[in-house]
């Protein structure tokens, strides 16, 4: 049941992110809701599930929109893995947690992503990416992550109460 | 342990798929075929609603625009008359050419209209998907146009969808010529901040702000498609080339209908 809901959220995100969310670009930066979802699910799930969710979101996004397959899958999988490794040691009710983790994950995404893209021989203006986009996206993602985290943790809380 | 293995496999997959591929995997095509109709519906709805809302707020702007357009029509009508005269002359000359058995080298392009389905959620690449694919005979490297200019080229083709790389993407470059004088040629390429910048082959070329650029026919884009307008010309002393910044003719933010022309379609 929970898996169905998670799958539905992933699909809805995949449909909304390239269409509706295009209207909320700030400074030409789109909030990476897929990344935020990976972080939020990884905080609430164990190691296997967190990694699997990250991989699924990434590979779907790659297939649908990306130029090469696997780059998002790899990064999201690693993010899901590292965050779900720590999830026994963190307070899940504190809203600072998703904000900080999303910020870190965005930074990680940029570092690993530009690294891979550079070695694949794509022409990129790395200086401009870090100067114009990184900071805006970290802040934007962190703010959006609060709302998504509240919703995602509600999903898990209601289950905990029932049993 | 599994994570490491999957990561290594993924890195290999990235390596394999980073170049432009001839054919997609079946799984990719299927996933695209399922998702793109849904995305199309959502996209059309959001655009319709958004335009409805913005038209309410832009009521005064609309009247002003109406006035401007009326004035423009008057100018254009005059232009039509001169163009008609030119056309008649051209017809005559064509007739003469036929009479002289001159071999024509004309490629007939067959445009197909398409809707933009979704834009890439990545901030680094400027790609989007359209709602037609192999089912309408789209092939790799088909050229995508909007009503007023060049948009990009088809990168990957699925069943009822295809990915398009726009010209403002980091990795795409277009060879251009200045509309005023076809001897001034050069290359423009996209950048991360979604503006076109490029250089002219001839450092002594006299280009000014406001010059219109069209494709030169070198490369995969056919000749004579509008690219944009020069908004800045600069020449630094340590660079031998003259660099320009170009504002694309197409508004890439508000783009929902495009035309696709497939190369090598002869009528």
> What integer is the mean pLDDT of B1-16?
84
Domain of B233, in residue numbers: 173-248
Domain end, chosen from B45, B78, B99, is at B99
Could you report the per-residue pLDDT of B122-156, keeping only the tens digit for each? 878 888 889 888 888 888 888 898 878 889 989 88
Q: Is residue B2 part of a domain?
A: no
Q: Is residue B133 part of a domain?
A: no
Residue B45 has pLDDT above 50, yes or no: yes
B78 CA: distance to closest CA in chain A (Å):
40
Which residue's entry shows tokens 């990184």?
A: A134
Residue B70 has pLDDT above 70, yes or no: yes
Least confident of A23-37, B64-78, B191-205, B241-255: B191-205
What's the confidence (pLDDT) of residue B207?
83
Using pLDDT thresholds of 50, 70 and 90, give the confidence band for residue B219: confident
**Per-residue CA distances from A137 to A51, B56, B122, B252 (Å):** 23, 32, 11, 21
Domain end, chosen from B99, B121, B152, is at B99
Chain A to chain B, count of Cβ pairs less than 8 Å apart?
A: 123
What's the confidence (pLDDT) of residue B10?
85
Inter-chain touch A128–B192, beta carbons under 8 Å: yes
Residue B108 has pLDDT above 70, yes or no: no
> What integer is the mean pLDDT of B199-217?
84
Q: What is the CATH number of the domain that holds B213?
A: 2.40.10.350
What's the confidence (pLDDT) of residue B106?
58
Q: What are the chain A neighbours of B126 within 8 Å (beta carbons)?
A: none
In this structure, which long-range contacts are made by residues A55-59, counting pairs with CB atoms below 8 Å and at least 24 apart in sequence?
A55/A80, A55/B6, A56/A10, A57/A10, A57/A13, A57/A14, A58/A34
Domain locations in chain A as residue ranges? 34-158
Inter-chain touch B50–A34, beta carbons under 8 Å: no
Which residue of B lies nearest to A112 if distances are taken between CA atoms? Answer: B11
Find the CB nearest A137 among B11, B123, B127. B123
Q: Is residue B179 part of a domain?
A: yes
What's the confidence (pLDDT) of residue B266?
42
Q: What are the chain B neighbours of A81 within 8 Å (beta carbons)?
A: 3
**The total number of structural domains that make up chain B:** 2
Find the CB nearest B39 among A18, A129, A133. A18
Q: What are the chain B neighbours of A30 within 8 Å (beta carbons)?
A: 121, 123
ipTM, 2 dp: 0.78
Find the CB nearest A129 among B10, B28, B124. B124
Q: Is residue B219 part of a domain?
A: yes
């Amino acid at each position: 049941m929970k898996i169905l809901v998670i799958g539905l959220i992933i699909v809805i995100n995949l449909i909304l992110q390239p269409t509706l969310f295009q209207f909320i670009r700030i400074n030409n930066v789109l909030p990476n809701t897929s990344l935020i979802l990976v972080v939020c699910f990884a905080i609430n799930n164990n190691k296997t599930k967190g990694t699997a969710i990250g991989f699924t979101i990434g590979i779907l996004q790659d297939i649908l929109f990306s130029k090469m397959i696997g780059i998002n899958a790899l990064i999201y999988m690693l993010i899901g893995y590292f965050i779900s490794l720590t999830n026994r040691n963190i307070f899940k009710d504190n809203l600072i947690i998703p904000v900080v983790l999303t910020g870190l994950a965005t930074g990680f995404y940029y570092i690993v992503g530009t690294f891979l893209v550079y070695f694949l021989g794509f022409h990129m203006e790395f200086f401009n990416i870090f100067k114009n986009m990184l900071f805006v996206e970290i802040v934007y993602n962190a703010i959006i992550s609060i709302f998504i985290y509240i919703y995602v943790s509600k999903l898990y809380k209601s289950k905990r109460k029932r049993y | 342990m599994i994570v490491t293995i999957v990561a290594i496999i993924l890195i290999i997959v990235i390596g394999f798929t980073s170049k432009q591929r001839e054919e997609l995997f079946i799984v990719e095509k299927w996933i695209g075929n399922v998702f793109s109709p849904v995305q199309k519906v959502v996209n059309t709805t959001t655009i319709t609603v958004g335009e409805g809302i913005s038209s309410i707020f832009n009521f005064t702007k609309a009247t002003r625009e109406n006035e401007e357009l009326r004035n423009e029509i008057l100018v254009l009508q005059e232009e039509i008359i001169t163009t008609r005269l030119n056309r008649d002359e051209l017809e005559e000359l064509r007739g003469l050419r036929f009479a002289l058995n001159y071999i024509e080298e004309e490629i007939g392009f067959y445009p197909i209209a398409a809707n933009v389905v979704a834009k890439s959620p990545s901030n680094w690449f400027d790609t989007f998907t359209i709602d037609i694919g192999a089912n309408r005979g789209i092939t790799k490297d088909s050229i995508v146009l909007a009503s007023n200019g060049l948009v990009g080229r088809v990168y990957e083709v699925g069943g009822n969808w295809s990915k398009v790389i726009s010209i403002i993407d980091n990795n795409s470059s277009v060879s251009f010529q200045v509309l005023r004088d076809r001897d001034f040629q050069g290359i423009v390429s996209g950048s991360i901040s979604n503006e076109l910048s490029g250089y002219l082959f001839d450092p002594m070329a006299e280009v000014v702000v406001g010059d219109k650029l069209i494709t030169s026919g070198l490369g995969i884009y056919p000749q004579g498609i509008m690219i944009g307008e020069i908004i800045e010309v600069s020449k630094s002393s340590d660079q031998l080339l003259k660099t320009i910044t170009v504002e694309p003719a197409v508004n890439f933010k508000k783009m929902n209908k495009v035309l696709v022309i497939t190369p090598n379609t002869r009528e």
